[in-house]
A and B are shown apart, each in its own frame.
Chain A
């Protein structure tokens, strides 16, 4: 099945700094989804990307799907303490495959 590698595993930032997490695959992906899991919570769907080069924005969050559809990124501008949590990318193609996640901590 398709595998996705997510980096970094952890990211500590000062409030107001930017944050980016990357999701990479060795194979072409049909789609990619992003989820956020708050500490003690369950994963919550953020967005799905399906087109090559697609860019979507949700307020301070920017999601990109690479031109070759082998990588994706999530960028948060000017982080806030409410952004803390683990961000997962996921691939849906037969099996459901989640990356290992990037855990973001934000220092006020």
Chain B
């Protein structure tokens, strides 16, 4: 158990819909990262927040947005969903903003039908 929690574990929805994925970092960690992992694919970095502020941005689609709240939990919003958005979405957290170890949550499996 990494100490990072993600909800929900599974999500099944239809094309065109909007969903919200939630992540709670480890106690004391200020950074939250979001990754997308499609079937048999690597980890695609989406975005990082540090202490409430956006820190780094990867290949995140405009249909996707995220935020980190004052209590440091984070949400990833995915809208106008397409079949290709079906993937495992991981959240990770770390103590600091840069080179620290990332601790990954168990992931949310999103299926778009």
Contact surface of A with B, Cβ cutoff 8 Å: 30-31, 33, 35, 41-45, 48, 50, 88, 90, 92-101
Task: Using known A-B contacts A96-B45, A96-B58, determine if residue A44 contacts B99 with beta carbons closer than 8 Å.
Answer: no
A98 to B56, CA, bound (A): 14
A95 to B99, CA, bound (A): 10
The closest CB in chain A to the CB of B56 belongs to A95
The closest CB in chain A to the CB of B43 belongs to A98
Instruction: Select one of A94, A95, A96, A100 contacting B102, CB under 8 A.
Output: A96
Q: Is the CB of B104 within 8 A of A48?
A: no
Instruction: Select one of B48, B101, B106 contacting A33, CB under 8 A.
Output: B101
Contacts of B44 in A (CB 8 A): 98
Task: Name the prevailing secondary structure of the B interface residues.
Answer: loop
Q: Is the CB of A100 within 8 A of B42?
A: yes
Contacts of A30 in B (CB 8 A): 99
Q: How many A-B residue pairs have CB under 8 A?
A: 55
Contacts of A98 in B (CB 8 A): 35, 42-45
Q: How many residues in B have their beta carbons less than 8 Å from beta carbons of A? A: 24
Q: Is the CB of A42 within 8 A of B101?
A: no
Q: Is the CB of B99 within 8 A of A48?
A: yes
Contact surface of B with A, Cβ cutoff 8 Å: 2, 33, 35, 41-45, 48, 56-58, 90, 92, 98-107
Q: Is the CB of A42 within 8 A of B106?
A: yes
Instruction: Select one of A42, A50, A101 contacting B2, CB under 8 A.
Output: A42
Q: Is the CB of B56 within 8 A of A43?
A: no
Q: Is the CB of A92 within 8 A of B99?
A: yes
Q: Is the CB of B103 within 8 A of A45?
A: yes
With A95-B57, A101-B42 known, 6 other A-B pairs at CB within 8 A are: A48-B99, A90-B102, A92-B100, A96-B33, A96-B58, A97-B45
